[in-house]
Amino acid sequence: DIQMTQSPSTLSASVGDRVTITCRASQSVGSWLAWYQQKPGKAPKVLIYKASSLESGVPSRFSGSGSGTDFTLTISSLQPDDFATYYCQQYNSSPLTFGGGTKVEIK
Amino acid sequence: DVQLVESGGGLVQPGGSLRLSCAASGFTFSRYYMHWVRQAPGKGLVWVSRINSDGTTTTYADSVKGRFTISRDNAKNTLYLQMNSLRAEDTAVYYCTRAGGSSWPDNNWFDPWGQGILVTVSS
């Protein structure tokens, strides 16, 4: 199974900050990586697929990059609505696996 | 609007069974792979199972293989998860989710998601 490791697990930031979350795969997943945002008590919502493709309707302050084993999700200017937990997910091979999550908190 | 609505959750004793349903609307259900993903209380997301568009191919996480069965009825636009021999560690919110696209590799990321249904396994 491909292990997905996210860092940091928790991140404290202020509105307007640039935020970067890292996801590392235990073996290459090519560009087959998605990012999700989840708010408390709600279902996850996809932000990015194929490592860098922005899902329709997602604000352009979100961006993704990387390939192979190392990926990043960047929020260019953190907004109040962005305080949530973020997960990466590889879909290169089964079983499909998620990172452990990164909680973005208010500083 | 695309909508996925889960039902059938609840409290069940260890060793018991439960069948989850997911009613889909707003898209051509028969064109998409479907998945179940679960989330234990306070924990992260875990993929559980996948079924292809015509229901002929299924895949499972090792943790549920042999105990859970995914199926679908394309005439009723409904996805199912039959869960047998339930264990305490199966306690989670179960999400029904559609594949992000209708062809490979977009079969294997998830968009959208249902609201989730809680399954509690306890005596």
B121 — pLDDT class (breaks 50, 70, 90): very high
Look at B113 and A32 and tell me if their CB atoms are within 8 Å. Answer: no
With left for phi above 0 and alpha for psi between -120 and 50, is residue B66 left, alpha or beta?
left
List, for chain A, all residue ranges whose pLDDT scores fall below the cut of 70: none
pLDDT value, residue B106: 87
pLDDT value, residue A20: 98
A91 touching B (Cβ < 8 Å): yes
Look at B100 and A89 and tell me if their CB atoms are within 8 Å. Answer: no
Identify which of A55, A95, A98 has the shortest CB distance to residue B45: A98
Q: Residues of B near A (CB-CB distance < 8 A)?
A: 35, 44-47, 50, 59, 61-62, 95, 100, 105-106, 108-116
CB under 8 Å to A25, separation ≥6 — which residues?
Answer: A2, A3, A4, A5, A33, A68, A69, A70, A71, A90
